[in-house]
Amino acid sequence: MTVDSGTQLNTNEMVWESTPSVLHGAEGKVLRDGTQDGTWTVLLRLPPGWEIRDHRHTSTEERFVLAGEYTIDGVRCGAGTYQMIPAGEAHERATSAFGCELLVRWD
């Protein structure tokens, strides 16, 4: 289920779903479906041992860590960390040794 204007979701009632292969084993709950306008908001769950290779972002990505932690460009990002990666920026490999839950927004 995705949000329409004025809609409220209880994410505890939503099912974790497989994400596109680019996210390598992560699961998500889509809060805002960006099919129409390119703006996505997703709860993302990274499993222990998760890894993604270095890449360049095609859109701006905002992340807020809710639980657990991940490491990107050698920097540990734990619960409460906010990160914004501008469109066009590249970064090195990202990993999560023990798993992580994030709120992610792409636009």
Interatomic CA distance for residues 52 and 21, integer angstroms: 10
**Count of structural domains, the chain:** 1
Q: Give the CATH number, domain containing residue 55.
A: 2.60.120.10
In this prediction, residue 82 carries a pLDDT of 97
- Please report the sign of the dihedral spanned by the C-alpha atoms of residue 26, residue 38, residue 31, residue 91: positive
The verdict on residue 29 lying in a domain is yes
The verdict on residue 88 lying in a domain is yes
The verdict on residue 6 lying in a domain is no
The verdict on residue 4 lying in a domain is no
Range of the domain at 48: 11-106
Other Cβ atoms less than 10 A from the Cβ of 73: the count is 11
The verdict on residue 5 lying in a domain is no
Each residue's pLDDT, cut to its tens digit, for the chain (107 residues) gives 455 566 789 999 999 999 876 677 899 999 998 888 888 999 999 999 999 888 888 889 999 999 999 999 899 999 999 999 999 998 888 999 999 999 999 99
